[in-house]
Every structure is written in C-alpha cells, then in structure tokens.
Structure 1
Amino acid sequence: MVATRNHPRDFEPAPGESPTKPSPTKRTTRNSTANDVKPTSSPAASTRSRTATSPSSTTTTRRRSSEWSHTPSNLTLIWLAISLPLVIWDTGYVLLRPHSMPGGRLHWIWSPYDLYGRVDYAYSMAAHEDRYGWTGAQGFFNALETIAYLAYLYIVYTYGEQEPIQGRGAPDKSFMGQFRALSESRTVYGRIAAIAVLLGFTTATVTWAKTVLYWLIEVFSGFHGIGHNDWYSLIFLWIIPNGPWIPIPFYMMYVFGSEILQGLETATASSKKSK
C-alpha cells in the first residue's frame, strides 16, 4: 500500500566524468569581445538575472534538499480510497446492531450482511444475542483506524507538494492520458512528514495485527464461526473478502518502517559528525 522515498537530489556527474570546463578558445573569444564591445543590458535581462539568483528561491531549494521528506506511493493512496469506505460500512453495521441487522430499521443499508451473517457467525444475530465480544471490539478498532487513516490523508493532501516526477508504485504516465496527475508524486517535508510516517506505520500495524488475530481466532476455536461453510462459500465469501487486509497493511508497515529506520540512521550519522 505505500511506497515512500526521500526527496530527489540533484543529478551528479557519472563516475569517471568531470564537469565540463570552458575551452581556452571560448574564453579568449569572450575576453576579446568584452574589450571591444561594451555589453548592453535591458530591463528584462536585469529582471531575469535577479530572478535566477533570487536569495529566497536559493534558500528554499537548499532547505528542501536538507529536510527529511515522505512521499506515499499511489498504491497506498488507491488502497485507502478503496478500503476506507468498506471499513466504514462494516464498522457501521457492527456498532449500530441490532438496528443494522435483519429486522432492524437500518438494515436496508446493510442488507448484504444478511448473507454474510450466515457465512460468519460472528456477524450473526445469535452472536449478538450471546454478547460475543470480538465483533464489537473489532468494530471499535475499525473506527479508530479509520480516523487515523483520514488524518494521514489530510496531512498528505494539505501539506504535500505535487511533483511531476513518476511516483513510486504509480501507473505509467504513458497509459494515463488526461489522468497523468495520478502518476505524479506528492511529497511532505519536515516535522509534518515525520508525523505522517509515524501515523501511517502505527495504523497499518494495528490493521495487520487485528486481521491476523481475526483469522487466528477461527484457527484456535476449531473454525467455530466459519467451519460450517462449503469450500466455495468459504473461499469467495470469507477468504477473498478478508484476505487483502493482511498483505497490504504488512507492505505498508514495511515501507513506513523503512523510512523510520532511514530517518534514525540519518540522525545518528549527523550526531557522530558533530562530535
């Protein structure tokens, strides 16, 4: 779900190459021209010169190159765009029981759960009446995760700066047509970038751990909630719908964690140099 990278650095000469130096012939020509003809300057040229050497732009570039940055991959943003509405829908069903269940006044919003409650007993009326606690606890954490992910997206889209370069994990620009912007990177800088990464890592870890626990409960209970299904129903109505919430959050954990380690290594290296 998300790959990140540091802010790109300026291109450097390839190994073995040296910066291009002006030839003696060109230098002689420029000197003789300067002696024979006095240069003229126009207001437009002076303006361009002042703009090119603007202290503010130089300072901004230098500050940006030294700041730690975070760029979420488009895979992460697409996953959140797909998963968050589904999680909000599921959370609403769980936290609004029994009104969201068959016979309830709000069941028309969650009518597909009539079938899912027969596939997974944790979502059934019997589990609710028996006060089976896992389903409600899971729904409560779903709500917290949703708030945290929305906060992460708010940071990225409020403080992030759009960059025309190809975003890691993004579809190729040549196939995007008028939707090329979806392939571009969005970068957050400084302290707010660190907050975004910490928030993303923590929330992805909770999502992954909670989903793994959801599966392990079935394993250690002898598949009490889903063991009554045939293989077709089990695969297409339980495993596939719940499967993506394990590998994708784990990928997000890996990417966000790699950025945190990179930041710590950079801070450690700077601390050693200052001693």
Structure 2
Amino acid sequence: MTVKTHTWISLWFILTTPVILWDVGYCFMRPRSMEGGDLHWIWAPGYTIYQNVDLVYGIPSLERGDGFTNAQSFMNVVETLLNVLYVYTAHVSEWPPAPLIGFVAAAMTFSKTLLYWLQEYYCNYCAIGHNSWDMLIKYWIIPNGLWLVFPALVVAQLGKDLAESLHVAHKASVKSASGKSG
C-alpha cells in the first residue's frame, strides 16, 4: 500500500522547519540572542520587535526565570523532528504509517499553540496586553494564528486519510475472515 501524500502538508513541514529552528535558537540562546546581546544580529530585526511585543520572549520573562519559553521551544524541537520524520517516511521510505507521524506532529503543534493563546487569555493578556491593536494583529495574532490554522488543517486532512485507511483495512479484514470461514 502506497503512502497517500499531500504536497501542501509536506511543504508546510519543510518550510516551517527553518523558521522553527530560528525561533528555538533565539529562545535557547537568551540573553545573548536578545537586543543588546552579542548574538542578537542573527535574530535582528525580527526579534528586536518581537521581544517587546510578546514579553514571554522578552526581558521580563527572562528575569523572572519563566521556563515556559524554553519549554515550548523544546517541544518545537520534538515537533520539528516529527515533521522531518513525516516527510522522510512519506516521500523517501514510503512507510505506510507515515501519516500517523504527521498527524501527531501537527496535533502537538496545534495543542501547544492553543495552550500559548489560552495562557494569554487566562493571565489577562499579561505578556501581550501592553500592545496596540495594530501591533498585536501584525506581530502576534497573524503570525501565531498561522500555527493554529495550518496544523488544524493538517490534522483534519491526515485524520481523514487515517480513517479511510482504517476503513479499508477493516473491510479487507472482514472479507478475509469471511473467505476463511466459507
């Protein structure tokens, strides 16, 4: 049985890998990656703005010793490894369970991002509430919203594909069992 693939899913996983690794690098290298740090040039100008828009990425979080930033970055590493594993198993080794890997990776990304948004809601927007709506929409809602929308679409598509595969396998199993008893 060949692996059913979707170009847009593979492209999402491939194109987001360097973005995620760039973000992980910024988080794990703080304070050196932050504005004023000797390595900030690698992340400028994007994180010069972002560390002031989302204080989870900024000085206040670092000074408090808040572990959420690096904890979510660690999860980003796991998700990215799964994304790359999906692309490899779907397109190179053509391993039939590959869609399950992609499904799990996208579900992790969606869940972690939703947690990130819910954290803001339940702390009364403690890390982003200081922004104007213009700044919030441009630098937080749209970019972070992509990490909800696309993983949700991946989960829906791969979930549908997995359900179809299970249905086909079940029908084959029933057919095989009825052929043996007859």
TM-score by length of 1: 0.61
Q: Displacement, 1:255?
A: 1.2
Give 1:201's aligned amino acid.
Answer: F
2:43 is aligned to 110
Retained in 1: the 8 A contact 2:109–2:151? yes
Supply the distance in 1 between the matched residues of 2:145 and 2:25 (Cα, whole angstroms).
20
What secondary structure, in the 3-state scheme, does the structure 2 residue paired with 1:104 have?
coil
Matched, 1:271 2:173: yes
Cα separation, 1, equivalents of 2:77 and 2:32: 18
Matches within 5 A, 1:247-262: 247-262=149-164
Structure 2 match to 1:140: 74
Structure 1 equivalent of residue 29 of structure 2: 96
Measured after TM superposition, the shift of residue 256 of structure 1 is 1.1
1:115-135 Cα shifts (integer Å, max 9, x gaps): 111101101112111011211
Q: Which residue of 2 aligns with 1:125?
A: 59
Supply the AA of the counterpart residue of 1:233.
Answer: M
Partner of residue 241, structure 1: 143
- The answer as to 2:123 corresponding to 1:231 is no
Q: Structure 2: how far apart are the matches of 1:229 and 1:88? A: 26
For residue 271 of structure 1, report the CA deviation from its aligned partner. Answer: 2.2
8 Å contact from structure 2 (residues 83, 102) kept in 1: yes
Asked whether the 8 Å contact 2:53–2:131 carries over to 1, the reply is yes
**Amino acid in structure 2 at the alignment position of 1:121:** L
Task: State the partner residue of 1:73.
Answer: 6
Q: Quote the offset at 1:105 in angstroms.
A: 2.2
Residue-by-residue CA offset, 1:48-74 (whole Å, 9 max, x unaligned): xxxxxxxxxxxxxxxxxxx2x323222
- Matched to 2:125, the amino acid is F
Between the aligned partners of 1:149 and 1:80, the Cα distance in structure 2 is 5
| Counterparts of 1:110 and 1:236, CA distance in 2 | 18
Deviation at 1:96, TM superposition (A): 1.5
Query: What number of residue pairs does the alignment pair up?
Result: 176
* Distance across 1 between alignment mates of 2:39 and 2:115: 29
Normalising to structure 2: TM-score of the pair?
A: 0.90
Q: Please tell me whether the aligned partners of residues 90 and 99 of structure 2 are also in contact (alpha carbons under 8 angstroms).
A: no
After superposition, what is the alpha-carbon deviation per residue over 1:55-107, rounded to whole angstroms, capped at 9, x for unaligned? Answer: xxxxxxxxxxxx2x323222112222322211111011111212211232211
- Show CA shifts across 1:164-205 (max 9, x none): xxxxxxxxxxxxxxxxxxxxxxxx3xxx122x1111010000
* 1:193 matched residue in structure 2: 96
**Would you tell me which structure has more strand in proportion to its own residues?**
1
- The percent of aligned pairs where both chains have the same amino acid is 38
CA distance in structure 2 between the aligned counterparts of 1:120 and 1:151, rounded to whole angstroms: 31
1:48-59 alignment to 2 at 5 Å?
none
**In the alignment, is residue 213 of structure 1 matched against residue 115 of structure 2?**
yes
Shift in Å at residue 145 of structure 1? 0.8
Q: What SS class does the counterpart of residue 204 from structure 1 fall into?
A: helix
- Any stretches of 5+ residues in structure 1 without a counterpart? 1-66, 160-187
Q: Which of the two has greater helix per residue?
A: 2
Distance in 2, Cα, partners of 1:131 & 1:251: 35
Distance 1:96 1:206 in 2: 23
Partners in 2 of 1:269 and 1:158 — Cα distance?
A: 28
Q: Which residue of 2 aligns with 1:57?
A: none
